[in-house]
């Protein structure tokens, strides 16, 4: 079973950060992970005899995918995000407010969510799609045969994040007009 490590502001028991983290984990992440046959891990729920820092870094390095909640721009979360980003391994970013993300992070696809009256199905479906695409990149990242394939993946990720698939439909129409057949690998 593949591992998904959830990097998130955790806070102390009973804090708003902990309630939000628990809500995201139980409402969005665990159901999606179950569908995708992923084991979810979070730092405060790990039973390990190593130091907390060593355990977290080990999970960041060895997990198949990492979900990073940048809500509130918690310094620990940003540091851990930097480690995963530097490893060039699959990750998905989520936040309660995309506009609060720093400029150099804003260009990374992020799933925006809310803990107040969320559209659970929509967020869960988009999260599942983003995780699936990120995991698929493990096997295809080094085998891109053209810039077009990379652009197609970007197009798909944009559509998944925004929920607007009109650009993909327009692209398909253009490909059909040009007589371009899909390459089904």
Q: What are the φ/ψ torsions at residue 72 (nearest 5 degrees)?
A: 80, -5
pLDDT of residue 178: 56
Which of the listed CATH numbers 1.10.3980.10, 3.40.640.10, 3.40.50.300, 3.40.50.450 matches domain 2-143?
A: 3.40.50.450
Provide the greatest CA pair distance for the chain. 61
pLDDT of residue 125: 92
Contact 81, 73 (CB under 8 A): no
What's the sign of the alpha-carbon dihedral 21, 54, 31, 68? positive
Whole-structure pTM value = 0.72
Contact 38, 64 (CB under 8 A): yes
What H or E segment, with its residue span, contains residue 65? strand 65-69
Contact 71, 116 (CB under 8 A): no
pLDDT of residue 144: 42
C-alpha atoms less than 13 angstroms from C-alpha of 87 in its C-beta half-sphere: 20
Contact 123, 113 (CB under 8 A): yes
Q: Is 63 exposed, middle or buried (0-12, 13-18, 19+ CB in 10 A)?
A: buried
- For the chain, the residue count is 185
DSSP class of 37: T
> Pairing state of beta strands 38-42 and 65-69?
unpaired
Distance between CA 184 and CA 40 in Å, rounded? 31
Contact 43, 55 (CB under 8 A): yes
**pLDDT tens string for the chain (185 positions)?**
999 999 999 989 999 999 999 999 999 999 999 999 999 999 988 887 777 888 899 999 999 999 999 999 999 999 999 999 999 899 999 999 999 998 888 888 899 998 888 888 999 999 999 999 998 876 544 444 455 566 666 667 777 767 777 767 766 766 666 566 655 55
């Amino acid at each position: 079973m593949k591992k998904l490590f959830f990097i998130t502001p955790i806070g102390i028991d009973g804090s708003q950060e902990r309630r939000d983290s628990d809500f995201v984990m139980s409402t969005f992440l665990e159901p999606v992970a179950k569908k995708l046959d992923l084991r979810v891990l979070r730092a405060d729920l790990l039973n390990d005899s190593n130091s907390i820092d060593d355990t977290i870094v080990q999970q960041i390095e060895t997990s198949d995918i990492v979900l990073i909640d940048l809500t509130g721009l918690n310094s620990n979360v940003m540091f851990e995000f930097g480690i995963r980003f530097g490893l060039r391994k699959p990750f998905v970013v989520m936040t309660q407010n995309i506009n609060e993300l720093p400029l150099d992070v804003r260009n990374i696809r992020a799933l925006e969510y809310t803990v107040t009256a969320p559209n659970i199905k929509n967020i869960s479906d988009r999260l599942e799609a983003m995780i699936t695409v990120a995991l698929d990149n493990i096997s295809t990242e080094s085998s891109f045969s053209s810039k077009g394939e990379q652009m197609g993946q970007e197009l798909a990720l944009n559509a998944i994040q925004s929920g607007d698939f009109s650009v993909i439909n327009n692209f398909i129409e253009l490909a059909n007009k040009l007589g371009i057949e899909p390459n089904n690998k």
